[in-house]
Amino acid sequence: MNSQTTAVQRIKDFAHGLGFDFCGVTTAEAPERADYFRNWLGDGKHGSMQWLEKNAAKRVNPLEVLPGAKSIIVVGLNYGDDDLAAQIVGGQKPPVTGQIARYARGVDYHDIMWGKLRGFEEFISGQFAAETLSYVDTGPVLERDLAARAGIGWQGKSTMLISPTLGTYFFIGELLTTLELEPDAPQKDRCGTCSRCISACPTGAITAPYQMDARLCISYQTIENKGVIPEGLRSLMGDRIYGCDDCLAACPWNRFARASQEAQFAGNEWTRRPSLRKLLALGEEDFRTLYRASPVKRIKRRGLLRNVCVALGNTGTQDDLPALKKALEDPEPLVKEHALWAIHQIQQRPLLTQ
């Protein structure tokens, strides 16, 4: 066993000791899909996510992120929960509750991943005298491309990363280093003729295999869009109030998914099927208290209540009208506008369907 192999194995063993489910290594070369990323930006499919444009040059060249980088170590952390087997895309769901994407039900994954990555950085810099720089979807790197090249999984037709051992429910982080390591072999694409993720997307955001228009994606609209949700998309959002799991849940590779061992991902009543009426009654202080450790805090109270109004417009009944009418008095114009739309949606539906 040569010294490089020994270093790689020591690094992977340490990563697993930190609790990561995966660890792979790739080079610091430019991602193979760099041209696709540039064209995607040029077509405006990133919507209002201007930070993607701002650091576009760095995203396609890791050496601009960490000069002298020779390797990129990619780690993965399972966030699956115990309702994996019960989820049925398009199936019956409890009324007047909201759906929050599985990844956002527990403590903010950035905090959990960062805690582990800081220990990882200290290990590599201390043991190998190398420079390191790590990110958890916050830095200018094309992390899914790098993860696929490091053998963590492959990018499916939904553009999401798929693991043959955990399916689609895992976070990824990357650590750039000046340490030269033997890279892992990338995994081959195993989607075959399957197109379930494309069929499952409620808004047609997966415009073709491996092609995503973020502007149509429910995750983008409920999280990244800070303004008015286009009326043409509102009725397609169903009861989703933060993100969307439909393309992930449709993937047949999730037969291998399992519940995470990380207790902080478990969530609570405010993240696992929360009552839409209770959410609509939240004041600013209540929102900050309930979601201070959650990814949901990103969209602020006005964003969450905007999404809640849309969900009530799609799934609510006459019984929800008093709460929505009260929301018309909310100090946030964004909330009032979507509450008015929701009231109209409920009032125009035949009573027999409510």
Q: Render pLDDT for 189-241 as a digit per residue (tens, 0 to 9).
A: 999 999 999 999 999 999 999 999 999 999 999 999 999 999 999 999 999 99
Q: Give dist(CA 250, CA 195) in Å, integer.
A: 9
Cβ-contact 192, 95 below 8 angstroms:
no
Cβ-contact 31, 145 below 8 angstroms:
yes
The alpha carbon dihedral of 104, 110, 112, 117 has a sign of positive
Q: What is the DSSP string of 306-337?
A: HHHHHHHHHH--GGGHHHHHHHTT-S-HHHHH
Confidence of residue 304 (pLDDT cuts 50, 70, 90): very high
Confidence of residue 81 (pLDDT cuts 50, 70, 90): confident
Catalytic one of 35, 137, 184, 213: 137
Q: Give dist(CA 123, CA 138) in Å, integer.
A: 22
The whole-model pTM stands at 0.92
Cβ-contact 246, 81 below 8 angstroms:
no
Which residues are CB-neighbours of 56 under 8 A, at least 6 positions away?
37, 38, 41
Q: Give dist(CA 127, CA 7) in Å, integer.
A: 9
The CA distances from residue 67 to 58, 64, 109, 136, in Å, are: 11, 6, 28, 19
Domains of the chain: which residue ranges?
A: 3-92+106-177, 196-247+267-347
Confidence of residue 96 (pLDDT cuts 50, 70, 90): confident
More confident residue, 341 or 2: 341
Give helix then strand counts, H and E, for the chain.
16, 10
The DSSP secondary-structure symbol of 271 reads: T
pLDDT for the residue numbered 344? 98
Mean pLDDT of the chain, nearest integer: 93
**Does residue 137 carry a catalytic annotation?**
yes
pLDDT for the residue numbered 23? 98
More confident residue, 51 or 162: 162
| Residue 85 clears pLDDT 60, i.e. is over it | no
Residues 20-73: tens digit of each pLDDT = 999 999 999 999 889 999 999 999 999 999 989 888 999 999 999 999 999 999
pLDDT for the residue numbered 222? 98
| Residue 125 clears pLDDT 90, i.e. is over it | yes
Element (H, E) at 322: helix 321-327
Confidence of residue 2 (pLDDT cuts 50, 70, 90): low
Residues 239-267: tens digit of each pLDDT = 999 999 999 999 999 999 999 989 899 88
Q: Give dist(CA 269, CA 117) in Å, integer.
A: 29
Cβ-contact 97, 275 below 8 angstroms:
yes
pLDDT for the residue numbered 91? 44
Confidence of residue 4 (pLDDT cuts 50, 70, 90): low
| Residue 352 clears pLDDT 80, i.e. is over it | no
Confidence of residue 334 (pLDDT cuts 50, 70, 90): very high
Confidence of residue 84 (pLDDT cuts 50, 70, 90): very low
Cβ-contact 304, 222 below 8 angstroms:
no
